[in-house]
A and B are shown apart, each in its own frame.
Chain A
């Protein structure tokens, strides 16, 4: 009897050792991604350390659109329906990393999920990828909803998914066992949890493509703050030439729409945290994040196609005289806020002065700023530059021709509309095209431009207000045209 206890203990210890070794080797050991000297590839597909928390086993992720085609937006096929750019030859679209944990490759979103763009100069052009762009076609909420709904769908069974996987991949026995009895049930459970975590979205206006509410999920989940009913819907910002936000001895340029941070490195780390990085994965992710940060500091958008060098009659021709006159107006009226070196450049302009929609500003609370630094109680992140502000940041206009729609919430479709008084700006329009609107500056925003690919934007919905930013709206028509011509060339 006495030996029976010790024998049982022996079996227990052996079992625990086997469990620990197997779990490490099969599921947990991070396998470094293939090294690359291509910073764009690293930015587009590098891991930000969120595979443990948000990574889906590759084959499950791969077949989900085939199993749940009806859960994707607008009845279109595959992950392309959420606006991702899928480069030829890549195993996943831009904005997804594939990293192996143990023996299982996992797919997770990275920074480029939101910070990517594409454009076409004419309807027949193939779309051209612009790294680190504004994500005008990307629909993060539809992706989250797709995962949530799939996880709670009765079709999410081992039998159904394995049937789809084995139709395209001759999976070896050991992997079949892992997928069928461990990975698929665990993924279903995780997606159900995610559905609960994002249940708050149902009580808010939809984010809509090209936009995201990036901090409310962090507030409610990571920071443990109560649902305060705020709406943080705003456009994705481009990450171009961010070396201009390097601090100087005299000032710290503000980042994010409302300037909630004044440090690029902390912005990169906080962004990765928001996407699922934890203090456990931070050590192995630190170098990749640093290289992504370097990429964003140096990456430039393509030069504007608008030029006075183009022949007259070309849709992208802008008269040299108009550009020169517009530049003078810009220097006199806009440069103080939008030109690096301007006194108000990358500073927070008070909301009472701007008059734009304030929902995004009110989303970020003093409590959130205070808590962010130690939301993982056992790990000191060392954040120093979170703050609560009272307005929105005046950013540089780099790549302005690719930044549409305009204002922080993307409520103004074109540059021409931005120079009009708010009452004359479109009350509704369509977003999601990557076809340049040569006449008005921005992307085409008419209902019939690309049926089934565009999304209706209603400026009357909460968070979508088109008011404010009145600079340039009182110009005489000729000067307005000149300023428009110059802005198109930025």
Chain B
């Protein structure tokens, strides 16, 4: 028989490890975002331009896979549906807009803003409608 206390412990340990992983990721992610050349030079990673679009594509694919659970069972994975809007799509949109209009990067990045912004907005609209309908059903004002 499994000790309930033991299960709680392992859940806690899992959570701690996840957070350590998140912090470790952020230790790379934030310098890569704000001072990429410094972090690359620090680790002696060659400045091979093709490697970074590939890595971005891989990460985009992985993030997209994480959107799937909410399409299978939106009630169970509701939090993931919200996370897909914020921060995921929202920050993608803001990042691309900032790159073009603030940091003078190529205007082609606006395609990313349009893509993330459009899907973020329409899925957010759906979520708001769902929440409002659920509230109405709970209050007995609709079926």
Contact = CB atoms under 8 A, between A and B. Distances in A.
A17 B93 contact: yes
A280 B110 contact: no
Interface stretch (B21-29, B70-78, B125-133): B125-133
B15 interface: no
B86 to A, nearest CB: 6
A448 to B, nearest CB: 51
Contacts of B90: 9, 12-13
Nearest to A12: B90
Contacts of A21: 110, 114
A9 B93 contact: no
Contacts of B101: 23
A171 interface: no
Contact of B37 (A10, A19, A280, A377): A377
The majority secondary structure among interface residues of chain A is helix
Interface residues of B, number: 28
The majority secondary structure among interface residues of chain B is helix
Contacts of B84: none
Contact of B97 (A10, A14, A16, A280): A16
Interface residues of A, number: 20
A20 B117 contact: yes
A313 interface: no
A19 B113 CA distance: 10
A380 interface: yes
B128 A7 contact: yes
A9 B86 contact: yes
Given A9-B90, A17-B93, A28-B110, 5 more contacts: A6-B124, A7-B128, A13-B90, A13-B117, A16-B117
Interface of B: 37, 49, 85-86, 89-90, 93-94, 96-97, 100-101, 105-107, 110, 113-114, 117-118, 120-121, 124-125, 127-128, 131-132
Interface of A: 3, 6-7, 9-10, 12-14, 16-17, 19-21, 23-24, 28-29, 280, 377, 380
